[in-house]
Amino acid sequence: MKMNDKVRVENLETEAVIGVYAFEQVSPQPLLIDLELTTDFSRAFESDDLKDALDYDALSKKVRSFCEQSRYALLEALAGGIIYLLFEHPAISKVGVRIRKPQALKGAMASVWCERTREAL
C-alpha cells in the first residue's frame, strides 16, 4: 500500500525572468515558491537515514537554480517546469507547486497553484 507522506517547503525565495510584458523580460523578479511533495516515508521511519527520505535542501536548491535560469512568460508554465523537474526524483508520487509573484499586481499578491501525480503526466 502506497503512503501519502508529504514534505512541504514554504516561501522558497528565488527570482526569475518571467512575464508576458516586454518590461518583465528585462530583469529577474522575485518569486516565492511553496512545494508539496508526496512520497512514502515508511523506510525512513525505521532507518532514520536521509537516503530513505526526501532531501528537501537539495530539492530546494535544484528548484531555485531552475527558476533562476528559466525564461517563461507564464507562472503556469514555470510551475509545469518545476513539476517535471521534481518528478526526476523517483520516490515522488505527487507534486504541488504554488508560485507567488509579489510585484505582479499593485496592492495584491498574484499566485498560481498547480499539482500533478506522476501518473497524470
User: Residues 38, 6: contact at Cβ < 8 Å?
Assistant: yes
Q: Which residue has the cell 517547503?
A: 9
Rounded to whole angstroms, how far apart are CA atoms 59 and 71?
A: 20
Sheet with 71-72, side-by-side order of all strands: 71-72, 5-18, 29-39, 94-105, 108-117
Active site residue 6: no
Which grid coordinates belong to 54? Answer: 526526501
Active-site residue among 2, 51, 61, 101? 101
Active-site annotation, residues:
101
